[in-house]
Amino acid sequence: MRLRNVPGADAYLTAHPLVIKNETRYRGSWKETFEHSENPIHIEIGMGKGKFILTLAKENPNINYIGIERYSSVLVRALEHLDNDEEYKDLTNIRFICMDAKELPNVFAVGELDKIYLNFSDPWPKARHAKRRLTSREYFERYDKILAFDGVVEFKTDNKELFEFSLEQVDLAGWILLAKTFDLHNDPTLSRGNVMTEYEEKFSGLGHPIHKLIAMRQ
């Protein structure tokens, strides 16, 4: 996917008070970056324009959220929604990091996170790039290092091949599959309380079934 460069994006992120800079220095003390440090921390990796995590932060003030996005030009769009949409005004339970997900163990300490959301991640369709997929065994090993004992990973996609690959990787990583569905919006259990992303709205509107899994380590 070719990303459009957003002039001034890096400067915008640097100046924004909710974007964490020099993120590795907060390893082991992320709770202290929030007003309510007693709350659990959930992260979304690859947050796109931010609708999903902003909605969660608004609906769940008792949970602290961190949105992670690799590309500054994408993250800046999410921040514009936060800054300009009245419904997200005064959120205090959300932070953002512009970083590559492969650095997660260098940014978060053992057991520091309670949940990881992966939504419509890049499928990296070529076999030689399988290790780059956010649901590969290599990434589950990274998640293992930062999740709390009972922490979970939730993954949604419309890409059936990626979803089947992900199911295999859960097993290969030695994790437990708590739930799965190949048709989220028609699943009476997993669809309850579902918050849609921008991609989810687009693809489901085109008639694509949405797949979801929830996994935790043994």
CATH number at residue 113: 3.40.50.150
Q: What is the pLDDT of residues 27-85, one digit of tens each?
A: 999 999 999 999 999 999 999 889 999 999 999 999 999 999 999 999 999 999 999 99
Q: For residue 168, what are the CA distances in angstroms to 60, 124, 163, 165? A: 32, 16, 9, 5
At residue 1, the pLDDT reads 43
Cα angle at 91 between 70 and 9, to 5 degrees?
35
SS3 category, 189: coil
Within a 13 Å sphere around the CA of 142, how many CA atoms are in the beta-carbon half? 19
What per-residue confidence (pLDDT) applies to 48?
87
pLDDT mean over 135-153: 97
Known binding-site positions for S-adenosyl-L-methionine: 44, 69, 100, 122
Catalytic residues: 122
Choose the weakest-confidence range: 8-12, 128-132, 147-151, 162-166: 8-12
Average pLDDT over residues 153-182: 98
Looking at the predicted structure, is the pLDDT value of residue 137 above 70?
A: yes
Residue 3 falls inside a structural domain: no
The pLDDT of residue 2 is: 43
Mean of pLDDT values over 162-180: 98
d(C-alpha 18, C-alpha 31), whole Å = 14
User: In the Cβ-directed half-sphere of 184, how many Cα atoms lie within 13 Å?
Assistant: 29
CA proximity to 144, closest of 169, 166, 113: 113
Binding residue positions for substrate:
126, 158, 197-200
- Alpha-helical (H) ranges within the chain are 9-15, 51-59, 72-84, 104-107, 137-146, 160-172, 198-205
> Could you report the per-residue pLDDT of 82-133, keeping only the tens digit for each?
999 999 988 999 999 999 999 999 999 999 999 999 999 999 999 999 999 9
What's the domain range around 134?
9-217
Burial class (CB in 10 A: 0-12, 13-18, 19+), 108: buried
How far is residue 72's CA from residue 98's CA, in Å, rounded to a whole number? 6
Tokens 């932060």, residue? 57
User: Does position 159 have pLDDT exceeding 70, yes or no?
Assistant: yes
The answer to the question of residue 142 being in a domain is yes
Cα 26 to Cα 94, 104, 106, 114, 198, distances in angstroms: 15, 12, 10, 17, 30
Q: Is residue 1 part of a domain?
A: no
pLDDT at 5 over 80: no
pTM reported for the whole predicted model: 0.95
Count how many domains the chain has.
Answer: 1
pLDDT recorded at residue 194: 97
Annotation: binding site: 44, 69, 100, 122, 126, 158, 197-200
In a domain, 4, yes or no: no
DSSP 8-state symbol, 5:
P
For the stretch 7-33, pLDDT in tens is: 778 888 999 999 999 999 999 999 999
